Structure 1
Amino acid sequence: MELPQSVEIIEVGPRDGLQNESNFVPTQVKNEFIIALWRAGFKEMEITSFVSPKWVPQMKDAAEVMRVSGDHQGTIVLTPNKRGIDAALASGAKAVAVFIGVSSSFNQKNINKTTEEALDGLLPHIRSLKEDGIFVRACISTAFHCPYEGEIAPADTLALCRVLSDAGVDELSVADTIGKATPKESFSLFTLLKKELPEVLMAAHFHDTRKMALANIYASLCAGITRFDASAGGLGGCPFAPGASGNAATEDVVYMLHRMGIDTGVDLNLLNEAIRIVEPHVSRELDSWYYQSYKEEQSS
């Protein structure tokens, strides 16, 4: 078994983690959370979304978050459409994330377009962003399973990834949106993607709905993936995917990798301190194993 010596964790808690919160986390708290996460050692982070406040009110302060916390080389912001892209660029963003689902049903529930229609609208934006020298991350939803269509054929995920790669995206973040993938499926899909798209920067994004995120991350490591999205405290989900609970908890992922001798560059104590900043402001208990152990140790 050959495993990498180091892995890059893309922290998505401030964006993907908080977008599904029922509470609006105050802007000052978000900024304190983000700055503390940078201090913990992350080199890349999704910090906010330039989306319609009507649909995702938790991200209505995107410009202010960027003004205070976005002055970092690894800052990434989500941009769903031309309006969002323009707002992100006006805020000084140098790296943006776009998103699309493999499943047409998911796209129709999310943006009222089929996958083909969504691609027709997205590809010109990707080309325009690349002409302006912007780093483009493409987030691929429902890469394994869809809450409406069920199992997704690996060939369909590959086909979408290939189109986006040909359009010039810098990175593909391939997501198990509803947390239904098994380690066997993860190993198989990422082996296929790495074989067919060897030059593309690729990350894996797992949700822990069925408590298999860590097992899926391990399987993906074995398939050659060395970049993983994770969310501090296990925050998150997807507001457009019923049944999608929180993301893989960053602290549990980092703990597992460190125990395996794989470097992440993340300080676990500083990461847990960052989580403590946001915990009082979220609507559910943050129940990741490592964070709970840390709190028990601190209180003893």
Structure 2
Amino acid sequence: MEAVKGDYVTRKSYGHDLLFTVVEIKEEQAIIHGVHIRLQADAPMDDLVRVEDQELRKIKQKVKKQEDVSYRLFLQDYRLLKEKRNYEATDGYTEKAACFQLPTKVLHLDGDQSYLRKCMELYEKMGLQVHSVHLHEKEMPYEIAALLKSIQPQIVVITGHDSYSRKKGMKKELRAYRNSKYFVDTVREARNITPNLDDLVIFAGACQSHFESLIRAGANFASSPSRINIHALDPVYIAARIAYTSFMEKVNVWDALRNTFTGEKGMGGVETRGLLRVGMPYKEDLAEE
């Protein structure tokens, strides 16, 4: 049976390697979105195979196990960071008073609503304060300035869908990418408002994005150095590492990447100062804000 809009599918030509949903059909061509990776692609209808419920459950269970492992590793790092912060804030005398922390504010722009929901669930588990906005990638450059001024975040995540097309040009050419140009323009607009890389930390990109252009435009971290696909949750782990590192310390690039699913092949960046500030003594009023 031929796939229809909303179906879960894989591609014969790629050995059924990734799970997609069909979001649009035009004649004999379909636009498909990765379920767990930030990839948008065009595919002939006769290249698509519907994934039945039993197989779908197996795929989702496998990915869930991988996501759980990554989250547990992040929690280990977070606990170590927290112990170190509290020790330094109290000069080693943790019994004197409990500490509080000023939350880091994150603005997350996403071109995909389903990815955005997954990211928000993870942000909530991590205890991060996040303002989320669903925008088509083409709209992001025109909306970012107003959002920065109204929300005043310390971290901005600019992501959604992307892909490289050999038919459109060489890998070094920005025109050969579905949405990299819009991500680059959005980063530039943000840097026009806040030029300093430590005053506003920016992650930008999605699957196969033009990493070099995003870094040159002013992103602290970006995808994808090796033009590979990235997981939908990778940007969250970057943001969390920055958010939970003291402003007195720099974040080593590898430290930021090691809890992501794709590592240095899918993500990269520059040394960046952390954003967390710890204070004491702990007060209920401060905790509630």
Q: Same fold (TM over 0.5)?
A: no
Instruction: Compare the two structures and name the one with the higher strand fraction.
Output: 2
Instruction: Compare the two structures and name the one with the higher helix fraction.
Output: 1
- Smaller-chain TM-score bracket: 0.3 to 0.5
TM-score, normalized by length of structure 2? 0.36
Larger radius of gyration between Structure 1 and Structure 2: 2
